Amino acid sequence: MTIQLSIENMTKLYPTGEGIRDISLQVKQGEMVTLLGPSGCGKTTVLRSVGGFIEPGSGDIRITDDSVLRLPPEKRPTAMVFQSYNLWPHMTVYDNLAFSLKLRKKSKAEIKQKVQWALGLVQLTGAEKKYPSELSGGQQQRIALARALLLEPKVLLLDEPFSALDAKLRHQLREELRDIQARQNLTMLFVTHDQEEALSISDRIVVMNKGRIEQIATPEEIYNNPASLFVAQFIGRMNFLPGEIRHHKLHIGDLQQDYNGAESGGVTVCVRPEDVVLAGEGEPFLEARIEKVMMLGHYAEVTVQTAIGPIKMFIDRARMPQYATGESIRITCLHTHVFPNKTEEE
């Protein structure tokens, strides 16, 4: 598949020492790639560098194999959707959308046709005569998206576009965005700090930390096989347990499992709550006492206390009556992720 966007060994450091270091990333045509990470990790610096709003210190940015590094934002084949909608308050929806087309000297008939197309795409047909102040936040963000699509960008850049909206509307709009992206075969680079958002809409996720890339993979791969302790901590719910590897055995308290990796000595064992289950007859186990049971929708979270600390497990809500507070149970771990113990500096 054609590479639509290529970021090559890009570095941008600020006077504070923060920024991005030696970032390389390729985005295929029609792919949605999400930059995910905590505040200050560098994801917005990458996005704004692609858009031309920040000049990298070194490296290159290529779109359809042409370098855009020397082009100003308005000359790049990109369009950006920001968290703030940036609509002209004194213009109607129609004029907000038609503005860029008028600058391109399009005919009135073509402008009308394209504006109607864009409004239909974001499900706001009939809103042409309204002003931004007459629209909800979600509707304004749809108009901002429509305006970006009218530029027919080769790469659409989205900088946390839904973070100012409530949870229900955010969920709805990201579904609509994913649908538009698939139907129009759009290439998108999306920035978010919301892991659920990234997991739900991305073809691939780029997890960033302190200006560097920790892992690039599909949502499934990142969730199932985090490449580092940081990724394990950042993506999804996780138990972090002290462990030790001796003679190809992983020891988690009294629980022992075969281990074929190269690590030895003290390790951090990562276990997702859904992978903590009741031990079967004859299986190795950890003794646990139920401390708390909380229903969280279609599933329940059970907190148990063990000799190595508290552990959380997820169960089907129909099984809640089987888990009484104070009861002793035996648990085991179906899947574990093991990382050597390191200092933060290492």
The CATH number covering residue 256 comes to: 2.40.50.100
- Specify whether the CB–CB gap between 337 and 269 falls below 8 A: yes
User: Residue 85 above 80 pLDDT?
Assistant: no
Determine the pLDDT at residue 174: 86
Query: Do residues 79 and 189 both lie within one domain?
Result: yes
Query: Do residues 72 and 138 both lie within one domain?
Result: yes
Other residues' Cβ atoms within 10 Å of the Cβ of residue 273 = 18
- Specify whether the CB–CB gap between 73 and 51 falls below 8 A: yes
pLDDT-above-90 percentage for the chain: 63
Cα 198 to Cα 191: distance, rounded to the nearest angstrom: 9
Query: Do residues 212 and 247 both lie within one domain?
Result: no
Residue 156, domain member (yes or no): yes
- Stronger pLDDT, 320 or 85, i.e. the higher one: 320
- Categorize the per-residue pLDDT at 261 as very low, low, confident or very high, splitting at 50, 70 and 90: confident
> Tell me, what CATH number does 199's domain have?
3.40.50.300
Query: Do residues 198 and 256 both lie within one domain?
Result: no
Determine the pLDDT at residue 251: 93
Cα 100 to Cα 234: distance, rounded to the nearest angstrom: 40
Residue 275 phi, psi dihedral angles, 5° rounding: -95, 5
Query: Do residues 29 and 176 both lie within one domain?
Result: yes
Query: Do residues 334 and 247 both lie within one domain?
Result: yes
Residue 252 phi, psi dihedral angles, 5° rounding: -120, 90
Query: Do residues 169 and 255 both lie within one domain?
Result: no
Q: What is the rounded radius of gyration, in angstroms, for the C-alpha atoms of the chain?
A: 25
Of 232, 267, 285, the one marking the end of a domain is 232
User: Residue 184 above 70 pLDDT?
Assistant: yes
Of 232, 251, 269, the one marking the end of a domain is 232
Q: Which of 19-33, 49-63, 96-110, 163-177 has the lowest mean pLDDT?
A: 163-177
pLDDT tens-digit readout, 144-171: 888 988 888 999 999 988 887 788 888 8
Cα–Cα nearest to 62, from 26, 33, 36: 26
Total structural domains within the chain: 2
Query: Do residues 252 and 222 both lie within one domain?
Result: no
- Specify whether the CB–CB gap between 341 and 268 falls below 8 A: yes
Sign of CA dihedral 99, 104, 110, 115: negative
- CB-based contacts of 314: which residues, under 8 Å, 6+ apart? 273, 274, 276, 299, 300, 301, 302
Of 232, 247, 274, the one marking the end of a domain is 232
Query: Do residues 205 and 328 both lie within one domain?
Result: no
- Specify whether the CB–CB gap between 85 and 144 falls below 8 A: yes
Structure-token match 């969730």, residue found: 223
pLDDT tens-digit readout, 231-260: 999 999 999 999 999 888 999 998 998 888
Query: Do residues 190 and 251 both lie within one domain?
Result: no
Determine the pLDDT at residue 346: 43
Query: Do residues 67 and 157 both lie within one domain?
Result: yes
- Specify whether the CB–CB gap between 111 and 102 falls below 8 A: yes
> Can you give the residue range of the structural domain that contains 12?
3-232
- The whole-chain average pLDDT of the chain stands at 91
Query: Do residues 221 and 274 both lie within one domain?
Result: no
Q: Average pLDDT, stretch 18-46?
A: 94
